Amino acid sequence: MILPKDIADDFKTDRKDITPPLPAILRLVPILFYLTVVSAMILCGLFLYQLKLANDNILAAKSGLAEAQAQVVTAAAERKQLEAQILRATDVQGWVEGSRPLQPLVVAVARSIGEEASLADLKIDRDEESPSNLNLAMRIGTSSATQLEETTDAIARENFRLLQPEQTLAEGQINYRATIVPLSVVPAETATP
C-alpha cells in the first residue's frame, strides 16, 4: 500500500536556522575531552608503573634490612668470640705475669738436676689460705743421695724457704713435698735467727 503524498504530514519546518550554530572554538571541546581521557589513561599507566617501582624498592629495602640485621648478628657473634679470646688471652697474660717471680725458681730447680738424675714431675701450686705460700711437689729419679740436697740448696739460693718438707723414696724415685715461702714473707715464728 502506497500512501499518497497529500496525506502524509511533513513535520519538518520550513524555517531555517532556528538555533545559531556553535562557535568554532567550541569544536575543541570534544577534542579536549578525548585528549583528557587519553592523558588520564597515560597518567594511570605511569602511576601503576611508579607503584610497581615503589613496591620493588620496598622489597629491596626489606631484603637489604634483613641482610644488614644478619650482618649485625654475625658481627655480634664474632665480637663475642673475640671478647672471649681476649678474656682467655688476658687470663694467660695474668698467669704469665703471676708466674714470672716463679720462673727463676723453676729454672734453678731444673738446672740443679744432675746428669745422673731426672726430674720426672714438678708441680707448684699456690696455697688458697695464704697466697704467698707455694706448695711444691716434685719427683726426682736418681741414684744419687745428694741430688735432693742440691735441689733444695738451689731453691734456697733463689730466696725461698722450705717449710714442712716431706720426702719418700720409692722405686728409685724421690717424692718430695714442701711449702715454699719467699724470704720476704717468712712468718716470724718459723724464721730462724
40 — phi, psi (to 5°)? -65, -40
| Position 161 pLDDT exceeds 60 | yes
Taking a C-beta distance cutoff of 8 angstroms, is the pair 150, 97 a contact? no
Q: Is 72 left (phi over 0), alpha (psi -120 to 50) or beta?
A: alpha
In the predicted structure, residue 83 carries a pLDDT above the cut 90: yes
User: Which cell goes with 20?
Assistant: 545559531
Residue-averaged pLDDT of the chain: 83
Mean pLDDT computed over 63-68? 95
The whole-angstrom separation of Cα 176 and Cα 169 is 9
**Mean pLDDT over residues 76-90, rounded?**
95
Q: What are phi and psi of 175, to 5 degrees?
A: -95, 120
Phi, psi of 16 (to 5 degrees): -105, 150
- The predicted pLDDT at position 45 comes to 97
- Least confident segment among 89-103, 118-132, 156-170, 178-192: 178-192
pTM of the model: 0.48
